[in-house]
Amino acid sequence: MESFTATVRMDLVQFALADHLDLGIHQMDAKAAYLNAPLKERVYVQAPEGYPVAPGHCWRLNMTMYGLHQGAYNWQIELTGQLSKCQFCKCLLDESVWTRSEADCFTISMSYVDDIVVCCTKGHAERIKAEMKGIYDCKDPGEAQHFLGMKITRDREAGTPTLNMPAYIDRIIDRMGLRAANTAVSPTNTSVKHEPRPEGENAPYYPYNRAIGQLMWLSVTCRPDITFSDNLLTTFLHNFDTAQITAVKRVYRWLKATIELGLTYNRNHKPFMEVGYVDSDFASQADLPSISGNAFMFGRGAVSWTSKRQNDIATSTSQAEFTSCYTGSSQAECIRMFLGKPSCKTTAPM
């Protein structure tokens, strides 16, 4: 029984929202999405109270329902099939992204479970959305203003969309009890060398995992400035000490100081190309692998970034740097393939 379901890669979301084709950006929400997906397996359920059923009998499900392990997977298969019938082509790099090229319209459709974003050539949004409504019962909020917690602020004339998450940051600061805390001038104190808690000592009382998880979602959506800090502190999920707690609080204090900070793209930036950067540290912690980092810019804004430990411990600076270059080049190739879609041609090489 399959239960895995893909969700849209955040870097591709930002590409579509980067406004580089001056596409209209609209959001839709499929109502009771799982109930549209046929169920292959034999699944029986007890009838809800108030529905008469003969003694010793139950209901057999014909369609997927919420709560089933395979619910999200079945919904993805159903949505993929319907979009294929509408001549959409699935992106090879992401099962949640589809594109369609017509004579006068280019469309990108992305889904995150039942949240769907449709980006299409100006003047065609209502037609595309009518197609979707003809298949599923969908809410239509109109032009996208929020997606997955991200606030979308768009100056269509200037071609400068901005993605940020001030409401989310405000909530997590409250949750962590840091409303009255002083702000910080940077997310990380690079002079501090973090060490795991000594064996045998009890862990300090602090919701460390929750704090890191909240930062992680922020770092993969529209705040690359905290990605390194979040990755570094994730290393200590099971052996954190007071030094790591202080470091986590510093990231939150930095967010408090930069609550409106986000990503802004520029459609008119020339040349129309992608710029990538890769780097690596070496032996910043003696018993742990080096950290690779990369960032790719498009339209003067970051569209993809990572910061994570390498798989093996490098024996030299050169090895650490080449490993980072390999990781970065793999991501660059993924982005290049996406840009190779019709109507996404760049005007200069990567």
pLDDT at position 256, please? 97
Q: Are residues 173 and 277 in the same domain?
A: no
Q: Is 131 exposed, middle or buried (0-12, 13-18, 19+ CB in 10 A)?
A: middle
155 in any annotated domain? no
Q: Are residues 21 and 97 in the same domain?
A: yes
pLDDT at position 158, please? 85
Q: Distance of alpha carbon 228 from its chain centroid, rounded?
A: 16
pLDDT at position 313, please? 85
pLDDT at position 338, please? 75
pLDDT tens digits for range 69-125: 999 999 999 999 999 999 999 887 788 888 899 888 999 998 888 899 999 988 899
| Averaged pLDDT of the chain | 88
CA distance 86 to 259: 41
Q: Which residue would you say has higher pLDDT here, 349 or 18?
A: 18
Domain CATH for 95: 3.30.310
pLDDT tens digits for range 188-226: 998 888 888 888 888 899 999 999 999 999 999 999 999
Strand-pair category, 59-60 with 106-112: unpaired
Q: Are residues 231 and 307 in the same domain?
A: no
Instruction: Label residue 242 by pLDDT band (50, 70, 90).
Output: very high
Tokens of 58: 């139950």
pLDDT at position 279, please? 92
Q: Are residues 46 and 130 in the same domain?
A: yes
Q: Are residues 47 and 173 in the same domain?
A: no
Q: Are residues 70 and 136 in the same domain?
A: yes
- Burial pattern 292-309, b for ≥16 Cβ within 10 A else e, equals bbbbbbbbebbbbbbbeb
Q: Are residues 199 and 285 in the same domain?
A: no
pLDDT at position 305, please? 92
pLDDT at position 183, please? 96
pLDDT tens digits for range 118-152: 999 888 999 999 999 999 999 998 888 988 889 99
The pLDDT > 70 percentage for the chain reads 93
Domain final residue, candidates 81, 111, 144: 144
Instruction: Label residue 248 by pLDDT band (50, 70, 90).
Output: very high
347 in any annotated domain? no
pLDDT at position 333, please? 85
* Closest to 169 measured CA to CA, from 259, 251, 263, 247: 259
120 in any annotated domain? yes
* Closest to 91 measured CA to CA, from 334, 350, 254: 334
249 in any annotated domain? yes
Q: Which residue would you say has higher pLDDT here, 80 or 268?
A: 80
pLDDT tens digits for range 18-42: 677 888 899 999 999 999 999 999 9
Q: Are residues 24 and 127 in the same domain?
A: yes
Instruction: Label residue 293 by pLDDT band (50, 70, 90).
Output: very high
161 in any annotated domain? no
Domain final residue, candidates 197, 226, 257: 257
How many domains would you assign to the chain?
Answer: 3
Where do runs of H (alpha helix) occur along the chain? 10-17, 71-85, 125-135, 166-175, 208-221, 227-234, 242-257, 317-339
pLDDT tens digits for range 176-187: 999 999 999 999
pLDDT at position 349, please? 53
Domain final residue, candidates 237, 257, 277: 257
The pLDDT > 90 percentage for the chain reads 49
Mean pLDDT of 9-14: 72
Q: Is the pLDDT of residue 343 over 60?
A: no
Tokens of 216: 């992680």
**Residue-range definition of the domain harbouring residue 244:** 166-257
Q: Are residues 92 and 213 in the same domain?
A: no
Q: Are residues 244 and 287 in the same domain?
A: no
Query: In angstroms, what CA-CA distances link 51 with 35, 36, 42, 65, 152?
Result: 19, 22, 21, 18, 45
Q: Are residues 198 and 224 in the same domain?
A: yes
159 in any annotated domain? no
Q: Are residues 67 and 139 in the same domain?
A: yes
98 in any annotated domain? yes
Q: Is the peptide bond before 271 cis (omega within 30 degrees of 0)?
A: yes
Tokens of 12: 């591709």
Q: Is the pLDDT of residue 283 over 80?
A: no
149 in any annotated domain? no
Mean pLDDT of 303-321: 89
